[in-house]
Chains A and B, each alone.
Chain A
């Protein structure tokens, strides 16, 4: 796809999904770079070359003092103005997992993430029923993606929740869809309030959520691809695309 999208993926201090996140963007035709947070603090001017800012997943500061807090503080103390200026332009911002937690700590997204209900890190797949009309989610009604986190239980007070609902700023809800049904798992993996998966702000341009679309860009990353191969696609050519790729395509399209 021809696109003018140019993505900056931040890294450092224990973020660890920057490479596959950039790969997902470049696979759909975006340009992009991985920039260490300290380099960004040193030369914040480079932000103007980019129109997408991605906070990837990971374990910044080992979740010490609370997930995303220490990294979020570092941004608040050193880069807040520049990030706000970036968001005010017609740009896109994505926070995945730890990136989402960071965005709530900075205050770019409302609400907060609590320890999972079972107080344990969990890696599994979930199904999401999409509600928001964010540009990231155009044309996506339902999507299956993997999660992997210890603090993914979304929480916000009643007033905040009403506001989110009024503004259609809820990314979507965990449901028992294709994969949860297939693998006999419950819908909500962590006790998230009202099954909330993630939230958006700034007309949907800033999106944060716990699931990892960048880990689902290829058919061969799906948890049941060997099953699909032997049932639905027996003898046929396998599809190449994973369920998460559409979000990145949407981003590329936004700047086409």
Chain B
């Protein structure tokens, strides 16, 4: 018989109140609920005596605030319905695992293999609710892809004495190896590529993401070998050759660019910048490792990598986001001989949470896409748990809202690492698995989770998307080995190479490292698994989380194993690196995969890609429309400030720990008025003054007019945000993350090519090299609306540019908030009539119920901007700048108001001094690049103006303690707004989030 221990609070439980408010937010079905209480339940099939059960229960609750029940129900005496939520079989259950460890320790006995403790939570709902209401509420409390739910009415609960027991154990028939016949028609090959290898029962295993050409290349290879491939081989090649791993669109020839746009534009930019910088080149390791690496100070390197986790986050926002953030942390641990994760950043592109569009993955409308709000909340929570539990500060990030992210959100997560220049006297960036080294897997065990993750994210999201692609993260398992590796094993020289297990699992990580030694032999039956029955191909490609692969010299293995055990981490030898030129995988004594390394890594066929020029569809508002709105500027300014893309996202910043590790210098919120910053400064060594500056640039709406200028603007923004807070413009590196859509269409490839071209032009012009990048090319949703009609939603072509820079002295950092009444306000840089595709056009479109793009997209004059940035930086170094910030969404108007809100100080501004023939709307909302808003103490006026000489620097106003912002153009009053109304508007959008 299974045992159950139930725990519930007797003291106040904030979680109940919070669940109640979420249920109320559901609308009609939640309205009747008056109270929610929670019971946490631990279920196990392990035989335990009454005494042992009592000991276990004592270890699982605090009598002062909680009560406990053993093998009998525990809940309120009166309620309407009880809803129990637990995990599905095989889904990572962290609480259950911890409870098991606690019980074993308190009883001083070890459970047998496969003996588990399962966690579930019961929500007791009080109030007047119908069966239908509770069904709807239950839907909001769980995600059917990973969780199970059980609902009982009060009467049923009483009659059946509680919720009953469920043991979600995985039962699998023993998996075998099969051969795959590739001598079939092209149609059948196409089905194989799209739907996967056929099971014995005729069903398919899930997408391989392979085209006919790839499968034919495999056919000829195995023809030469005189045998049929095994399913392990096909699955492994599908992973290795996937768009996700090989980046085929960036690598293949596109039009006249035979070397591909990655080599021509991205890599070449870095090469040219490094050459130009000569002895000042700060790059250490670019594009070749799991993160880009640059110099920090004489003994230290810093690393940066940004990943996306879009498809998984669409299906399970929490799981997708947490595995995204802990996954990119592993990229850091797997950079060089191991960097220590120092900072996390995030970036989210969502549909507005108020967007109520319902969408379905299937025609029969049984698989509904999660609501926009749940996707947003789940993603934010996932990064919260992943980052906070790992003890890595998140100094900053960004959000961007646009209806076209309703089908697939974009979830960017990045990690900055720090590593010494040398490890045991050797360069820390050089790693080399040697023939004879053990292949060692560290961390979590392997299960069915994440199977086909790499091939799945290379496909559009539709009803064929596999449920097993969903994974849940366990930050603590990772934290344990992360500390053991980067704080101990690395410096003891216990391994010769390391990489993370991400997309493609062991097949990718071991396959990649085997390139260093020239081959490998793997013993799959030695790989620790979560439950029995996994087929060899599943073990080889599973993306179960929190695992690293290392090359450990045999002589170091005993010490390595001992260390890992002492730190509570599992480490297992699963094979040996060789120099045979082959990747050989055995399962027991059978060879299940035997591939030449050359074929595995370079055997994929080259595709010639072609692009086709497209012109944007321009729709601009009439002058009359613009003038009409110009007459009500107070309203426009307040409404713009309340927009999702401008307003405060403090609810995110304040739930991400940004101060752990003690490295924080500027916070995510600046000033008294707590305004979200667009850049951050951190200090890796608190005994020196040198710091790291991080920022990002992203402006996908500009793609509607021109992807070249979109990319140029993103680069300018990422650099300018960093410079404004104090970064040295000569020490900035960039990362690119392309998130495109429908990349099989020539028109989309044209847009891609243009944006890549801009990447080259502006990285070179700004002398800011790319050091790492990633792409995700199919961010499309294909499904159905509420009427069963087909719908396709593609994200706008999106490019995230992240910058990582160095600041010599962090005590010179500049925050965005106005500091002191009487300080002079300067607008640096030129303003042009560039309202096109900006935040104001989006606002106006909403007001007028039109879809305006506007005409002129912001362009970038890199030469003038770079000269200005250098002068501004000199002013910062001389400590002449009291506040500074790069202008962003919504132009001068929004930046000015946010600086006032930040300082809780008023201002008087006259736009006349901006010069030119601009309308007031253009003056306030044009998003022209290259501009910074700065304030300067009156006593520094002369010195500041001298420093800025030769660049555009207009004194447009003065900070005042009037508690209002007054905007004039000459003698004409344009707007007059009180600080309190501005602050309220700024915080209004997400005030209940």
Q: Which residues of A contact B9 (CB under 8 A)?
A: 114
Shortest CB distance A243–B (Å): 13
Q: How far is the CA of A70 from the CA of B98 in the complex (A)?
A: 7
Interface string of B84-105 (1 = CB under 8 A from A): 0000000000110111011001
Q: Are A64 and B94 in contact (CB under 8 A)?
A: yes
Q: How far is the CA of A184 from the CA of B901 in the complex (A)?
A: 12
Q: Are B14 and A64 in contact (CB under 8 A)?
A: no
Shortest CB distance A167–B (Å): 18
Q: Which residues of A contact B937 (CB under 8 A)?
A: 230, 234
8 Å CB contact of B101 from A20, A70, A148:
A70
B906 at interface by CB-CB < 8 Å: no
Shortest CB distance B938–A (Å): 11
Q: Which residues of B contact A116 (CB under 8 A)?
A: 14
Shortest CB distance B958–A (Å): 15
Q: Which residues of A contact B658 (CB under 8 A)?
A: 123
Shortest CB distance B933–A (Å): 15
8 Å CB contact of B389 from A14, A123, A238:
A14
B671 at interface by CB-CB < 8 Å: yes
Given contact pairs A73-B106, A123-B655, A218-B686, A62 touches B389 in the complex (Cβ within 8 A): yes
Q: Are A227 and B672 in contact (CB under 8 A)?
A: yes
A3 at interface by CB-CB < 8 Å: no
Q: Are A16 and B14 in contact (CB under 8 A)?
A: no
Interface string of A41-78 (1 = CB under 8 A from B): 01000000000000001110111111001100110011
Shortest CB distance B809–A (Å): 10
Q: Which residues of B contact A177 (CB under 8 A)?
A: none
8 Å CB contact of A156 from B64, B106, B686:
B64
- Name the interface size band of chain A: 35 or more
Task: Give the A-B contact count at a CB cut-off of 8 A.
Answer: 200
- Name the interface size band of chain B: 35 or more
Shortest CB distance B245–A (Å): 30
**Cβ < 8 Å to A, chain B residues 668-724:** 670-674, 683, 686
Q: Are B64 and A111 in contact (CB under 8 A)?
A: yes
Q: Which residues of A contact B662 (CB under 8 A)?
A: 20, 23, 214-215, 217, 221
8 Å CB contact of B11 from A57, A155, A214:
A155
Q: Are A119 and B17 in contact (CB under 8 A)?
A: yes
Q: How far is the CA of A146 from the CA of B480 in the complex (A)?
A: 26
Q: Which residues of B contact A186 (CB under 8 A)?
A: none
User: Which single residue of chain A is at the shortest CB-CB distance from B484?
Assistant: A36
A250 at interface by CB-CB < 8 Å: no
Q: Are B657 and A148 in contact (CB under 8 A)?
A: yes
Q: Are B95 and A65 in contact (CB under 8 A)?
A: yes
Q: How far is the CA of A111 from the CA of B63 in the complex (A)?
A: 10
B659 at interface by CB-CB < 8 Å: yes
Shortest CB distance A195–B (Å): 15
8 Å CB contact of B14 from A12, A20, A115, A226:
A115
B71 at interface by CB-CB < 8 Å: no
Q: Which residues of A contact B567 (CB under 8 A)?
A: 12, 36, 38
Q: How far is the CA of A23 from the CA of B61 in the complex (A)?
A: 34
User: Which single residue of chain B is at the shortest CB-CB distance from A97?
Assistant: B660
Q: Are B14 and A227 in contact (CB under 8 A)?
A: no
Q: Which residues of B contact A150 (CB under 8 A)?
A: 388
Q: How far is the CA of A69 from the CA of B883 in the complex (A)?
A: 45
Given contact pairs A16-B391, A231-B819, A183 touches B674 in the complex (Cβ within 8 A): yes
Q: Are B99 and A65 in contact (CB under 8 A)?
A: yes
Q: Which residues of A contact B813 (CB under 8 A)?
A: 226
User: Which single residue of chain A is at the shortest CB-CB distance from B474?
Assistant: A62
Q: Are A121 and B13 in contact (CB under 8 A)?
A: no
Q: Are B660 and A148 in contact (CB under 8 A)?
A: yes
Q: Are A16 and B95 in contact (CB under 8 A)?
A: no
A196 at interface by CB-CB < 8 Å: no
Shortest CB distance A51–B (Å): 24
Q: Which residues of B contact A234 (CB under 8 A)?
A: 820, 937
Q: Are B18 and A230 in contact (CB under 8 A)?
A: no
8 Å CB contact of B664 from A64, A121, A122, A221:
A221
Q: How far is the CA of A66 from the CA of B8 in the complex (A)?
A: 11
Q: Are B683 and A220 in contact (CB under 8 A)?
A: yes
Given contact pairs A77-B105, A112-B65, A220-B683, A226 touches B814 in the complex (Cβ within 8 A): yes
A31 at interface by CB-CB < 8 Å: no
Q: Are B656 and A123 in contact (CB under 8 A)?
A: yes
Q: How far is the CA of A212 from the CA of B658 in the complex (A)?
A: 12
Q: How far is the CA of A57 from the CA of B662 in the complex (A)?
A: 12
User: Which single residue of chain A is at the shortest CB-CB distance from B821?
Assistant: A231
**Cβ < 8 Å to B, chain A residues 170-184:** 182-184
8 Å CB contact of B98 from A20, A62, A115, A230:
A62
Q: Are B566 and A118 in contact (CB under 8 A)?
A: no
Name the residue in B14, B479, B483, B661 with the highest tally of chain A Cβ atoms < 10 Å from its Cβ: B14
Shortest CB distance A242–B (Å): 10
Shortest CB distance A39–B (Å): 7
8 Å CB contact of B671 from A58, A59, A62, A227:
A227
A138 at interface by CB-CB < 8 Å: no
8 Å CB contact of A123 from B12, B102, B105, B654:
B654
Q: Are B566 and A38 in contact (CB under 8 A)?
A: yes
B384 at interface by CB-CB < 8 Å: yes
Q: Which residues of A contact B665 (CB under 8 A)?
A: 220-221
Q: Which residues of B contact A114 (CB under 8 A)?
A: 9, 11-14, 65
8 Å CB contact of A146 from B391, B659, B686:
B659
8 Å CB contact of B655 from A69, A120, A157, A227:
A120
Interface string of A148-171 (1 = CB under 8 A from B): 101001011100100000000000
Q: Are B672 and A230 in contact (CB under 8 A)?
A: no
8 Å CB contact of A19 from B388, B661, B674:
B661
Q: How far is the CA of A59 from the CA of B882 in the complex (A)?
A: 38
Shortest CB distance A226–B (Å): 4
Q: Are B476 and A59 in contact (CB under 8 A)?
A: yes
B864 at interface by CB-CB < 8 Å: no
8 Å CB contact of B476 from A13, A156, A160, A220:
A13
Q: Are B660 and A23 in contact (CB under 8 A)?
A: no
B390 at interface by CB-CB < 8 Å: yes
Q: Are B476 and A122 in contact (CB under 8 A)?
A: no
8 Å CB contact of B566 from A39, A146, A227:
A39
User: Which single residue of chain B is at the shortest CB-CB distance from A64?
Assistant: B98
Shortest CB distance B523–A (Å): 29
8 Å CB contact of B64 from A20, A115, A155:
A155
Q: Are A238 and B14 in contact (CB under 8 A)?
A: no
User: Which single residue of chain A is at the shortest CB-CB distance from B107?
Assistant: A77
Given contact pairs A61-B98, A156-B64, A226 touches B815 in the complex (Cβ within 8 A): yes
Shortest CB distance A144–B (Å): 13
Q: How far is the CA of A225 from the CA of B662 in the complex (A)?
A: 15
Q: Which residues of B contact A66 (CB under 8 A)?
A: 60-62
B916 at interface by CB-CB < 8 Å: no
A6 at interface by CB-CB < 8 Å: no
Given contact pairs A65-B95, A226-B666, A115 touches B15 in the complex (Cβ within 8 A): yes
Shortest CB distance B514–A (Å): 33
Shortest CB distance A115–B (Å): 4
Interface string of B812-844 (1 = CB under 8 A from A): 011101011000000000000000000000000
Q: Are A16 and B660 in contact (CB under 8 A)?
A: yes
Q: Are A65 and B102 in contact (CB under 8 A)?
A: yes
Q: Are B18 and A119 in contact (CB under 8 A)?
A: yes
Q: How far is the CA of A46 from the CA of B673 in the complex (A)?
A: 49
Q: Which residues of B contact A123 (CB under 8 A)?
A: 653-659
Q: How far is the CA of A214 from the CA of B661 in the complex (A)?
A: 9
A135 at interface by CB-CB < 8 Å: no
8 Å CB contact of B659 from A11, A73, A117, A212:
A212
Q: How far is the CA of A188 from the CA of B893 in the complex (A)?
A: 35
Shortest CB distance B102–A (Å): 5
Q: Are A14 and B655 in contact (CB under 8 A)?
A: no
8 Å CB contact of A117 from B14, B653, B683, B815:
B14
Minimum-distance CB pairs A-B, first 4: A16-B391, A119-B18, A64-B98, A20-B662
A-B contact pairs, 17 of them (CB 8 A): A14-B476, A14-B479, A20-B660, A38-B568, A62-B389, A64-B94, A65-B40, A74-B105, A116-B14, A117-B17, A119-B14, A121-B384, A121-B656, A123-B653, A182-B672, A220-B683, A221-B659
